[in-house]
Each structure stands twice: as C-alpha cells, then as structure tokens.
Amino acid sequence: MSCAMMATTGFFMSSATPRSSSQAPITTPQTSVPVRTIPGSYGFPVLGPLSDRLDYYWFQGQEAFFKTRIEKNKSTVFRTNVPPSFPFFLANPNVVAVLDVKSFSHMFDMEIVEKQDVLVGDFMPSVSYTGGLRVCAYLDTSEPSHTKVKNFAMDLLKRGSSLWIPTLVSRLNTMWDSIEDDLSKSTSASLPLPQFLFSFLTRCFIGAETSTSPEIDANGADMMQRWLFLQLLPTVPLNILQPLPEIFIHSFAYPFFLVQGDYNKLVQFVETQGQELIQRAETEFNLTPQEAIHNVLFILGFNAFGGFSIFFPSLVSALESQTTKGLQEKLREEVRQHCGTDPSKLTFESVKKLELVQSFVYETLRMNPPVPMQYARARKDFELSSYEQVFEIKKGELLCGYQPLVMKDARVYENPEEFVPERFVGEKGKELLNYLFWSNGPQSGTSKVGNKQCAAKDFVPLTATLFIAYLFQRYDSVSISSGSITGVVKA
C-alpha cells in the first residue's frame, strides 16, 4: 500500500473524527473484532437478481435501494445484486456493497483489488464501441498497456494545459453570450453545455478547432452523446414511465452499429486533425495509431465530456440552493479580490487562492459525485474492515460502492446531508480532502500509473473553479431555476 494511501486511510479505526496519518492503514483488521459473515443474500437464481433489478430501477431507485438494504442488514457492507442482469446479460449481478468511507476505501488499494473490465460493473459494453480495443479505464494496473495509456492520458493534460484556460475562457464567452441572447427573447435559458464542452475539449486534447470540419462542428457533440449514452444504457437509471425502460432499455445491450456512423466520423476527425498527437503517442508512449485514436476519443468523450456533462449542471444548481443564502455574494467577493474582473487574466495560480470557491466545488463533488458507482474485484482473499466489523472477502468477489451514500458517512462528515459551501476551508477542511472520493481515490492522493485514480483528479476541480471564477467576474449574480438560467446581473 502506498504512503498516500496510508495517509488517507490512517484515521480509520473506530473514531468518528479524522485522526492523524500515522495510524495503521485501513486494511489492517481490528484484532479484537471477530470476523463476521457478510449479511444479505443474492436470493434464488434468476428471481433474486430480477427482483433486485426492479427495486433498483423501478420500485425504489438507486439511493433507496442501498439505504433500505443498509437498514435491513444493519450493516453498510452486505451482499446484493446490481443490474444489469436477467434476461439477456451474461454479467454476474452478485456484488458486495461497501457503503461507508472505511469499507469503500479498500477499492483504492491495488494490492488487494484489481480493476480489469469493471468500470461499470461485471457488465462491460462491447469493445466495438472503442475500435475493438480495451481502453485505459478498463485496464488493470497489472497490465503493461495501462502504464503506457495512463502516461499518455496524463501527458494529454500536461500538453493541453497551456491551451486550457484561454480555450475555456473563449468557449465560456461564446456560451454566456448565447445565454444572454436567449434571455433577451425568453424568461429562461438552458446551458448549451454539450457544444461548449465538445469544442473546449477537442481543442485542448486534439489540438484542433471543430470548425475545421463543418459536420463535426455542427453535430460532433450530438454524435458523442449518442455514442456515450448507447453503450451505458443498461446501467443508467432513466426517468421514463415504467415498465418501458425495464422492457426496452435495461433488458439487453444496444448494438454498436446504431452509432457506428457517428463514431467513424469522430475517428476520421482525430485521424486527420490529430496527426501530431498520434505521432507523439507512437514515439513517446509506444502506442499504435489505433490505440492512440480510440483512447483519446474515450478520454475526450467518455471521461471528460461525460464527466463534465454531469458535473457542471450540479455545480450550477448548487448556486441556486435555498439553504446557502448569500453564497453568490461571498463567492463573487473572493473571486474579485484574487482574480479581478478580467477573465483573460485568469491563471491556475490565481484560482488556487480561491479557498471558498474551491471548497464549494469540493462540496458539490461530495454531494453529487458525477460517477456514482464504483467497482473493484478482489485480487486475493482479504479481510475488509468497516468501523466495528471485519468481513472476509474471497478472491474474485466484486465490490460495489455507491458514492452518494459513502460521501454522507456521518463518521467523517458533520451534518452530512447538508450542503456546506465552506466545509473544505481551513486546516480541518483540508483534512477532509483525504475522504473526498469522486475521482476513485482521495482528493489528497496522487493519480499515477500504479493506481486507478482519475488522471484529471486536479484538473477537474480546477476547471470547475475557473468556471465559477469566470461567472463572478462577468456577473454580479445569476438567477437559476431548476438548472436553467432565468436572469443575470452584469458586473
């Protein structure tokens, strides 16, 4: 186990308050505590998984599904099934749920778990969606290609960093101009996020303007959304009248050929506009052109476009919250004090001084982790500790964590259900970064080839901080209702 991991997990023995990093790592079982049988059951074959699937998607919904089972089993660690399952999936729905900070953290220890093909559970979308290749997010750290591709991903960010802020600012200019335009004609305007994100990320990762291809410029964001959505459909809860989703959407995987045309156009775009990138992938990272193209599309489309498409709306909605009165004024004051009013002068250094804005961003990630489900498979038999309990995990068992509940663990977070914008401010606040897990690892940890933490662990919160800084440089306040912009007061 790495030092960062030990520092992260050091406080967990049985206390409610974070303790110092010098204590024993989380995976050390408490000797005085007897090993307990994992509660819960998988039920009868076919019927158990089907009934759990209906609860998960229909009768209870994700959050209530896990909450009721915690209550029933009187434990945050238990056996259950998670979809997809019956009738047309070969995936094994049996998992061990880990729903508190301490038990969840075992999923970051690459000595005891592996992450091969478990990005969205035992089910894996067809590799046709990724050019017949298993891309970075599906590779375990023991696979040599993981090292190559993760280094490539981190290099993409490093190289893109000089373009990151100017491109972000220019795309935000376009986005907010268009929102103001809409507001001059209507009482509310939605955020045109897909276009903004697609254009921003394409420029930073591929080094190309979408305008170099009229078709990609006009439809690239939609193409990417369709590709992303179709491969994930079996795992996504949908707000559509039941039982339609259970019959038509969650019962089988949709074939790639439905989006093949879209994907091929995106591939062609990378092939023609990303020549330099492909060459660098070959010479510096020993990747084939195909590996480079499909990995960069996955990073751009799945990791970045997909992640920000969920994260930014929750960030904007958090500004609307009724319980955080006066929040916009405080954020604006801090932004103006450290970054002034000129977005062209924003830098990574200047936004790092925005303690409250950063804390607000972290709190949004805590309350609404954009990737709610995480999985990891036991690499070997080991003992998994929860607070007062220890369980035996057998090699091959799949652990499953539902982060929205884990991030409300009352042993770590005071008033866990409350959105507290300043929660991560100050020394005590910084300590809590050890337990903020949106990136599949602690926010205080380091993403590297030896772990499976998001390559953009620092870029994501910094980009969100820039997004908020820009907003309060441009506006004194913004009115938001149900995620749409209903008014702006210009600075």
Restricting to residues 464-483, name those near ligand HEM by CB under 6 A.
none
**Nearer of residues 280 and 338 to ligand HEM, judged by Cβ:** 280
Site string (282-301) toward ligand HEM, x via CB under 6 A: -----------------x--
Which residue in 418, 407, 380, 441 sits closest to 66, CA to CA?
A: 407
- Residue 367 found at the interface with ligand HEM (CB under 6 A): no
CB of residue 83 to ligand HEM, shortest distance in Å: 17
**Nearer of residues 199 and 374 to ligand HEM, judged by Cβ:** 374
- Work out the burial of residue 16: count CB atoms within 10 Å of its CB; fewer than 13 is exposed, 13-18 middle, 19 or more buried: exposed
Task: Compute how many other C-beta atoms are within 10 angstroms of the C-beta atom of residue 255.
Answer: 12
- Residue 136 found at the interface with ligand HEM (CB under 6 A): yes
Exactly one of 76, 358, 374, 465 binds ligand HEM (CB under 6 A); that residue is 374
Total residues in contact with ligand HEM, by rule CB under 6 A: 26
- Residue 452 found at the interface with ligand HEM (CB under 6 A): yes
**Interface with ligand HEM by CB under 6 A: which range of 59-67, 170-178, 307-315, 353-361?**
307-315
**Nearer of residues 137 and 191 to ligand HEM, judged by Cβ:** 137
Cβ–Cβ < 8 Å for 191, 316: yes
- Residue 228 found at the interface with ligand HEM (CB under 6 A): no
Exactly one of 7, 97, 110, 157 binds ligand HEM (CB under 6 A); that residue is 157
Cβ–Cβ < 8 Å for 272, 293: no
Question: Beta strand 373-378 with 382-385: parallel, antiparallel or unpaired?
Answer: unpaired
- Work out the burial of residue 257: count CB atoms within 10 Å of its CB; fewer than 13 is exposed, 13-18 middle, 19 or more buried: exposed
Cβ–Cβ < 8 Å for 337, 291: no
Cβ–Cβ < 8 Å for 211, 171: no
Q: How far, in Å, CA of 86 to CA of 217, rounded?
A: 40
**Interface with ligand HEM by CB under 6 A: which range of 42-50, 71-79, 302-310, 384-392?**
302-310
**Nearer of residues 176 and 205 to ligand HEM, judged by Cβ:** 205
Rg (CA), the chain: 22
Q: How far, in Å, CA of 87 to CA of 83, rounded?
A: 11
CB of residue 374 to ligand HEM, shortest distance in Å: 5
Question: Beta strand 484-490 with 390-393: parallel, antiparallel or unpaired?
Answer: unpaired
- Residue 216 found at the interface with ligand HEM (CB under 6 A): no
**Nearer of residues 75 and 195 to ligand HEM, judged by Cβ:** 195
CB of residue 449 to ligand HEM, shortest distance in Å: 7
Residue type, 100: D
Token pair recorded at residue 263: 């994907």
CB of residue 144 to ligand HEM, shortest distance in Å: 13
**Nearer of residues 245 and 442 to ligand HEM, judged by Cβ:** 442
Cβ–Cβ < 8 Å for 84, 123: yes
- Residue 456 found at the interface with ligand HEM (CB under 6 A): yes
Which residue in 321, 337, 253, 288 sits closest to 83, CA to CA?
A: 253
Which residue in 200, 34, 456 sits closest to 210, CA to CA?
A: 200
Q: How far, in Å, CA of 341 to CA of 236, rounded?
A: 40
**Nearer of residues 384 and 455 to ligand HEM, judged by Cβ:** 455
Exactly one of 85, 440, 443, 473 binds ligand HEM (CB under 6 A); that residue is 440
- Residue 357 found at the interface with ligand HEM (CB under 6 A): no
CB of residue 205 to ligand HEM, shortest distance in Å: 7
Which residue in 182, 269, 188, 181 sits closest to 223, CA to CA?
A: 269
Q: Is 339 helix (H, G, I), strand (E, B) or coil?
A: helix
Token pair recorded at residue 303: 């990791």
Show the DSSP H helices in 345-389 as ranges: 348-352, 355-367
Exactly one of 5, 95, 253, 304 binds ligand HEM (CB under 6 A); that residue is 304
Exactly one of 40, 83, 274, 307 binds ligand HEM (CB under 6 A); that residue is 307
Scan for tokens 């089910």, then name that residue: 123
**Nearer of residues 137 and 488 to ligand HEM, judged by Cβ:** 137
Q: Is 454 annotated as a binding residue?
A: yes
Q: How far, in Å, CA of 379 to CA of 110, rounded?
A: 8
Site string (95-134) toward ligand HEM, x via CB under 6 A: --------------------x---x---------------
Exactly one of 8, 94, 235, 303 binds ligand HEM (CB under 6 A); that residue is 303
**Nearer of residues 308 and 362 to ligand HEM, judged by Cβ:** 308
**Nearer of residues 374 and 443 to ligand HEM, judged by Cβ:** 374
Q: How far, in Å, CA of 260 to CA of 189, rounded?
A: 32
Q: Which spans of this chain sit near ligand HEM (rule: CB under 6 A)?
A: 115, 119, 136-137, 150, 153, 156-157, 299, 303-304, 307-308, 311, 370-371, 374, 438-440, 452, 454-456, 459-460
Annotated binding-site positions for heme:
454
